[in-house]
Amino acid sequence: MHTPDPHLPMTLSEVIHARRSIRAFLPTPVAANTVRAVLQLAARAPSGNNIQPWRTHVLSDSARQQLINTVLARFDANDDSCQPEYAYYPATFHEPYLSRRRQVGLALYRQLGIERGDQPRMRSQLHRNFEFFGAPLALMITLDRRLAQGSWLDCGMFIQNLLLAATAHGLGSCVQAAWTPYHRIISQQLQMDANEQFLCAIALGYVDPLAPENQLLSPRAELNEWVRWHNSAPTPPQGVSP
């Protein structure tokens, strides 16, 4: 696991390659000034007409633990009344998305030593989502529900900025859609405005370098799977593979 040296700035390419979804954190607190610096960098994301639609709730200590306790009580009780406000995933996956989803899921379970079909251990791993994987900080990202779909794109760019800024500051992160069924609990506990819509949670903290799940580096599809050149493809520099 790459640990950035705070005295040696990383290049943008290094930051992008270093970022990954972290699922085990150290209990080490994150300084408030570091969190502010990450959020200020994230807010440099573009947005249509510069409306900056994102909102962020930062949870730590008792606020974080109270939310964990409340949601885990519902999760452990298999409370089906908790349903997401929006669909993050399709009802049915088609190729190539189904294969990609299975590939990363199996790779994660392999890292954790979870055998295929081991439902108790798979549910235990899902349970970890609602502890923020041990991260000392939880960020709840929302936006004004009165806005249109373009603002969701803006928030996506903000979130990516946030993840990269966190990486550059030596922090790990994990975007979590698992929290979406519990949006009413989140809204109530955080006293959100009536027009705030919960988008996702982000676990934030220092990476546990010994955790096997943090060694997972998910693959990316080759360019020829998702790029179409409508004129001639650019010629790579001599000695560089396309």
Chain segment 146-169, per-residue pLDDT in tens: 999 999 999 999 999 999 999 999
Which DSSP category does 197 fall into? E
Q: Is residue 228 part of a domain?
A: no
Q: Is residue 123 part of a domain?
A: yes
Q: For the beta carbon of residue 53, count every other beta carbon within 10 angstroms.
A: 19
pLDDT band for position 7 (50/70/90)? very low
Q: Is residue 236 part of a domain?
A: no
The CATH number for 40's domain is: 3.40.109.10
Task: Give one DSSP letter per residue of 14-63, joined into a string.
Answer: HHHHH--B---B------HHHHHHHHHHHTTS--GGG---EEEEEE-HHH
At 108 the three-state DSSP class reads helix
Q: Is residue 147 part of a domain?
A: yes
Q: Is residue 97 part of a domain?
A: no
Which DSSP category does 114 fall into? P
What is the span of the domain harbouring residue 68?
26-86+106-216
Q: Inform me whether the pLDDT recorded for 32 exceeds 80.
A: yes
- Cα→Cα distances 181→66, 69, 84, 198, Å: 17, 15, 4, 10
Asked whether 25 and 203 are in contact (CB, 8 A), the reply is: yes
Q: Is residue 1 part of a domain?
A: no
Q: Inform me whether the pLDDT recorded for 4 exceeds 70.
A: no
* Whole-angstrom distance, CA of residue 93 vs CA of residue 173: 26
In the chain, % of residues over pLDDT 70: 94
* Whole-angstrom distance, CA of residue 152 vs CA of residue 53: 8
User: Could you tell me the two tokens for 181?
Assistant: 């069924």
Instruction: Tell if the pTM clears 0.85, that is, is over it.
Output: yes
Q: Inform me whether the pLDDT recorded for 132 exceeds 90.
A: yes
Backbone φ, ψ for residue 16 (5° rounding) = -60, -45
Q: Is residue 9 part of a domain?
A: no
Q: For the beta carbon of residue 138, count every other beta carbon within 10 angstroms.
A: 24
Query: How many domains does one find in the chain?
Result: 1
